[in-house]
């Protein structure tokens, strides 16, 4: 059996599902893109090549294993993009949540069935019809649970709206031990500089009491004020719209002290080191063309407090 336990974003990582980039299928048409950044690179003829993505993910796996992390990979499904394992399931406390996701991505769940089959069925929660959530929007943070979402008007309008109010309410009902804070995100199907695809595209806790934040990704100023008050201004690294587009907030914590980051994030990486973090820099710029980065590629199964 596989033990699962995740209470926050940064505790020492013991096991994780890392997506794969093999056999992603042909380059999609602009109309098939799930997000505006992918659409942009498709139209430019610069969509990432399989060989480049495989190299980047192999480097990520190498760093994870360097720190003793047990890395699971999905079964390869031909012609299916399986890079972003975060979206299709996620762990909160000792429960694995299987959400409702975009219909076109449901096959990805088959590729991790060998993992979920080794988890106690009593610890698996399947979200009911009508509730929607993706793992990029869901962040356990000790006694709190942060969730990015869209109200009905945006959820029905934008393909990039992935978590709805019903999803928030369902998770709240399942994790009554947690103080749930839901934040409406800014969405755009056309402009990647104005689209917070998931919560982790504009915010992520790091260390023990710090965070990376792009205020412009939130629809409501009071949510930004809450996060700044919760973490404290001096503990927040604020990023710009361009840095949000580059995915500065989508790094990944192996522990409270060790962060994996993209090698081109010079300003962020220098700031992290100033704050005492060990930064493992890897190439991940090709994968970022699909509007996801390091956190999106991972689904932690167990972190040690």
Question: For 33-49, what is the mean pLDDT?
Answer: 94
How many Cβ atoms are within 10 Å of 234's Cβ, its own excluded?
Answer: 6
CA pair distance 245, 193, nearest whole angstrom: 6
pLDDT averaged over the chain? 96
Question: Domains plus CATH for the chain?
Answer: 12-304 (3.75.10.10)
- Per the CB < 8 A criterion, the answer to whether 282 and 60 are in contact is yes
Q: Report whether pLDDT(117) > 80.
A: yes
Q: What's the sign of the alpha-carbon dihedral 143, 148, 153, 156? A: negative
Considering just the CA atoms, what is the radius of gyration of the chain in Å? 18
Share of the chain above pLDDT 70, in %: 100
Q: Report whether pLDDT(101) > 80.
A: no
Q: Report whether pLDDT(106) > 90.
A: no
CA pair distance 94, 294, nearest whole angstrom: 23
Strands across the sheet containing 70-72: 70-72, 12-18, 298-304
CA pair distance 246, 62, nearest whole angstrom: 23
Instruction: Give 191-242 pLDDT, tens digit per residue.
Output: 999 999 999 999 999 999 999 999 999 999 999 999 999 999 999 999 999 9
What's the confidence (pLDDT) of residue 154?
A: 97
What contacts 33, CB < 8 A, 6 or more positions away?
39, 42
Determine the 3-state secondary structure of 277 from DSSP.
coil
107 phi/psi in degrees, rounded to 5? -65, -25
What contacts 209, CB < 8 A, 6 or more positions away?
231, 232, 235
What's the confidence (pLDDT) of residue 242?
A: 97
Determine the 3-state secondary structure of 175 from DSSP.
coil
Q: Report whether pLDDT(104) > 80.
A: no
Instruction: Give 158-176 pLDDT, tens digit per residue.
Output: 999 999 999 999 999 999 9
Question: H or E element: which one contains 168?
Answer: helix 165-174
63 phi/psi in degrees, rounded to 5? -65, -45
Instruction: Give 251-264 pLDDT, tens digit per residue.
Output: 999 999 999 999 99
What's the confidence (pLDDT) of residue 79?
A: 92
**Taking Cα atoms as reference points, which of 295, 102, 75, 91 lies closest to residue 204?**
295
Largest CA distance in the chain: 48
Query: What is the DSSP secondary-structure string of 59-77?
Result: HHHHHHHHTT-EEE-PPP-
Question: For 106-123, what is the mean pLDDT?
Answer: 94
Instruction: Give 3-14 pLDDT, tens digit per residue.
Output: 999 999 999 999
Instruction: Give 172-181 pLDDT, tens digit per residue.
Output: 999 999 999 9
């Amino acid at each position: 059996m596989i033990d699962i336990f995740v209470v926050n974003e940064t505790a020492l990582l013991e096991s994780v599902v890392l997506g794969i980039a093999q056999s992603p299928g042909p380059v999609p048409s602009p109309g098939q893109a799930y997000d505006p950044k992918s659409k942009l690179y498709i139209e430019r003829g610069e969509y990432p090549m399989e060989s480049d993505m495989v190299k980047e993910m192999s480097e990520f796996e190498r760093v994870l294993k360097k720190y003793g992390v047990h890395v699971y990979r999905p079964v390869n499904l031909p012609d299916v993009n399986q890079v972003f394992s975060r979206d299709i399931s996620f762990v909160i406390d000792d429960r694995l949540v299987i959400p409702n996701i975009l219909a076109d991505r449901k096959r990805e769940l088959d590729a991790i069935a060998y993992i979920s089959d080794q988890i106690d069925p009593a610890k698996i929660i399947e979200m009911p019809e009508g509730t929607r959530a993706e793992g990029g929007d869901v962040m356990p943070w000790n006694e709190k649970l942060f969730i990015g979402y869209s109200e009905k008007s945006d959820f029905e309008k934008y393909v990039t709206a992935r978590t709805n109010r019903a999803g928030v309410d369902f998770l709240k009902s399942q994790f009554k031990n947690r103080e749930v804070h839901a934040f409406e995100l800014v969405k755009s199907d056309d402009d990647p500089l104005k689209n917070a695809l998931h919560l982790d595209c504009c915010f992520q806790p790091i260390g023990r009491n710090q965070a990376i934040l792009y205020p412009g990704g939130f629809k409501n100023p009071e949510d930004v004020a809450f996060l700044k008050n919760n973490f404290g201004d001096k503990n927040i690294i604020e990023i710009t719209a361009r840095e949000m587009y580059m995915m500065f907030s989508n790094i990944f914590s192996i522990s409270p002290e060790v962060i994996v980051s993209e090698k081109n994030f010079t300003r962020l990486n220098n700031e992290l080191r100033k704050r005492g973090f060990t930064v493992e820099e890897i190439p991940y710029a090709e994968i970022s063309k699909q509007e996801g980065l390091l956190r999106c590629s991972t689904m932690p199964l167990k972190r040690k407090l």
